[in-house]
Structure 1
Amino acid sequence: MTDSTKAFLLLANGQVFEGESFGATGCVVGETVFTTGMNGYLETLTDPSYYGQIVTQTFPLIGNYGVISKDFESADVHVKGYIVRSVCEIPSNFRCEYDLDTFLAARKIIGLCGIDTRALTKILRETGVMNGMIVSGDGEEAQSIRKALKSEVEKAKLLKKIKSYKIKSAVESVTCNASKIEEPADVVFKESAEYRFVPVRSDGTKENDPVIAMKDGKGKKVVLWDFGAKANIRRELLKRGFEVVTVAGSSTAKEILALNPDGIMLSNGPGDPKENVKIIDEIKKIAKSGVPIFGICLGHQLLALAMGADTSKLKYGHRGANQPVKYLATGRVYISSQNHGYAVKNDTLPKNAVLSFVNTNDGTCEGITYTKIPAFSVQFHPEACSGPLDTGFLFDDFVRLINNHDYFKNFEAKFERIDSIKYFAKTIKNTSAHKKAAK
């Protein structure tokens, strides 16, 4: 290994993981997180919700199907750095355009491979998400940092700098990025039908006929309030016949309502939801308007804050395409795709807000249905093809809510009477008992 290909990760706690460089070279600081998806690395790299983060893939081989621009969730790459166990140099797929190394180098994203990603993941699970720095190549800055690590005094200064890093102006930095790759509805449905990524109903059946799929949403306008939206959210709305108008995260309630929308989609996005004070104030005004609302991920958190709930940062977050969530209205468990480091606190939900989904791993809030206003939200990504299409029916619920504002009015009676905190405690108890029995 030459100096030009050497690279390492320096965590804020002082631990070092040495490996090799791919993609761009240089030095970068970010919040180090992990995602458990076995595929979908292109969606991860272009997901605006990863803004400011160094992403570690737990699956050992990444890049095997190369780069496919049609799978991008936005026009740019938003991760700060990218860590994999092994990167595929010769991808194979009929849709492949070129390899991952070339893609990251062109986007000036620093990659690190050849490290023990399992060991790194265990550290992040035990100690929680922490900041880190990737140092790659033999440039002047990289050499300076390597030299600093040989001195305890200089290393301490370096670690202090890493610890001080904070993700700032997240929503402002990524809003309306996905709109750069928007396509018209007929193109979206045609391409989706080719791979059968068409609307899926609550009974699991697929709707391949665009006329039928779009019938109930036709003639209705939805404003996509973009806090860092993934492109597939807009595609799912288009597949159901909506006219979709994308507006920036800085838009006001007055500007949005002036568009006379039939519904408003609050998108996903990066960062701490509590930092978006102005947006939360504008959502309060939207909620009073009576226009139906559907929130996803950050949009779910912002709506909850606007309605009086609270949020908190998770120890290491939920990131990956295999996160189980329980729908309390039916008791059914779905596999969901998730990417978030914050969650709505279950015990802070206001009156007329019903906990609709819980994470079966830790009992955290995964969905809320509001019974006094036409609104609902989920923490996970129903547009992200997990399961592979388990929770797409939520977009159909949005169609129904737009056509009938009282759709959720008596929904509370359908939900299991379950205390998610007790549910989590029971899960831990059963897990402990299982481990003892195994011994």
Structure 2
Amino acid sequence: MDHFTYRGGRLHAEDVPLEEIARAVGTPAYVYSTATLERHYRVFAEALAGLPHLIAYALKANSNQAVIATLARLGAGADVVSGGELARALAAGVAPQKIVFSGVGKTAEEMRAGLAAGIRHFNVESVPELEALDGVAQAMGRVAKICFRVNPDVDAETHEKIATGKAETKFGVPIGDAPALYARAAAMAGVEPVGIDVHIGSQLTGLHPFESAFAKVAALTASLRAAGHAISRLDLGGGLGIPYRASNAAPPLPFDYGAVIRRTVGHLGCEIEIEPGRLIAGNAGVLLASVIYRKRGADRDFVILDAAMNDLVRPAMYDAWHEIVPLQEPAPGAAIAPADVVGPVCETGDIFAKARDLPPLGAGDRVAFRSAGAYGAVMASEYNSRPLVPEVMVSGGEFAVIRARPTLEEMIGRDTLPPWIEPARA
């Protein structure tokens, strides 16, 4: 569910017409709904009600300060994968004891930052990382709480670029190696194993992969406890998908996901941690764009937008589908015809949709890409020297710019000339 609906023929974000935002800040622009973010957090909380749990929002989905702060006010923690995300979480008001540090390539500097902040724990993904963290923690006079991220070799049945639970991926340690690794960590002075972490992928549209992975974690928990390890936390990752395409079967609901957790690991008495990102932020945002031209090709029409692959890379990177809708609701019976929706970037791959059935769209018309709140602005770039897209947040009948579009001067001004190049003179 989201809060982007047509009212009186105009697409709204909560109580604000999106056309009003487009006029105020220009396009392309991202727009987020506070009510949708809050609702999605609460449905996860309801799904885990009665279980000791932490919902650690995955910042990689959308790391704008306003988004993080909105969720932190509701009690959310944060799953971070870099020193930059750690700094963002702290700056937005996430309590350090609710921050989990994941990722396969943590540097010593990032480890020191996490330890200095007093974060909840690190998810360790390799022996070299374990040894490095032990050394850093001892040098600081600290003890780092850790969970090993185990790789259960479970097929997440999702896009290959966002599947993380198979043996051939870079993530985690083989689950069969876990007993020896926990024994090794228990003998170290700078780390303290407290739980198990697993994350098998993103945009999962079925529950079976979760059930398989969590059952393996339950068995490992029993085995490690029998060996004397105090396993009190289970970090089950995120990955629950969202309905990008209305014609596809709807992914499972958080309530059903919670039922799987209860059924597989709920009896173990562990605190459950989950790390949703996409399901919280995805349908809470749209990308606004304007039509520059409509062009007739040899055998098709092209709708050329002012948004491009540098603003929303998912279609180019993952062949992802985003519903594209006009801000002005089409009249009943409006002609529908196929067109390729493309951006102005000088890449053949700058395509949002091929042969998409659309109502009539011409120069100056505006559209919204639905379900763009996750992995949209965070993955944007300045390719072709296109300034980053502004971000706007709506709450009820109000809206505010939460990241401004940089000017060309600001963008270019970040570059500096080396001393052997004299500045050009007019």
Please report the TM-score for the alignment, with normalisation by the length of structure 1. Answer: 0.25
Over alpha carbons, which structure has the higher Rg?
2
